[in-house]
Amino acid sequence: MKSYNPILFDLDGTLTDPGEGIRNSVAHALQYYGIQMSTAELNRFIGPPLAEGFREFCGFSAGQAAEAVEHYREYYREKGMLENRVYDGIPELLAHLRGAGKVLAVATSKPEVFARQILHHYGLDGNFQVIAGSELDGSRSKKHEVAAYALSQCPLPADGRAVLVGDRRHDVEGARQAGIDAVGVTFGYGSEEELLSAGAPAIAHSVAELEQILLSIY
């Protein structure tokens, strides 16, 4: 009999709702190029690596995408990072998992320096033995890369199986590439259809349902 342990969490759309800050930061960057997007279009940037989003959704070259990321960070560093909120029930979930002896980590494509500041601001950082993210230069931004890095820093219980919790297809696909399980959540920015199409073996529609899945024995 095994249980999920360690448990890796995506940050944006999984632990916190970063929508306002990311939308405002992307809109700030796109002003430089004379581009305007709707709220729905801006929401597509929540989850994927940022440079990838500018390439995919704006048709930017790699060089333009890197430039756009810098414009994005002009706003994000000053305001956008904390235009954010913790999802209801997340602090209690983390406390329950810790009480059950779970090793907890954050694995995000967001630059690690920003992830640490956000988690500290909301008092969540003390729940995690590992906080792993990308580098500011864009390296280690693919989800499988950051998941593998997080796992390399985690104590690995002999009787557990690692799992990554996230709200977008990138999380499910990254977990599979890293050789671990995935649990998709629909209270973030990815739909159930997106998560199922990516091959999510389990989906939680609420924080309470997520807790049941993560504490299950299989």
In the 8-state DSSP scheme, what is residue 122?
Answer: T
What number is the average pLDDT over the span 59-85?
97
SS3 139: coil
Burial class (CB in 10 A: 0-12, 13-18, 19+), 212: exposed
- What's the pTM value of the predicted model, to 2 decimals? 0.93
Contact 83, 47 (CB under 8 A): no
Kindly report, residue by residue over 95-136, the tens digit of the pLDDT. Answer: 999 999 999 999 999 999 999 999 999 999 999 999 999 999
pLDDT beyond 70 at 155? yes
Domains of the chain from N-terminus onward: 3-17+84-214 (3.40.50.1000), 19-82 (1.10.150.240)
Q: Distance (Å, rounded) from C-alpha 15 to C-alpha 165?
A: 10
**pLDDT of 1 strictly over 70:** no
Nearest alpha-carbon partner for 110 in 44, 12, 184, 43? 12
What confidence score (pLDDT) does residue 146 get? 97
Q: What is the pLDDT of residue 159?
A: 80
Q: Which pLDDT does position 156 carry in this prediction?
A: 85
- Does the active-site annotation cover 159? no
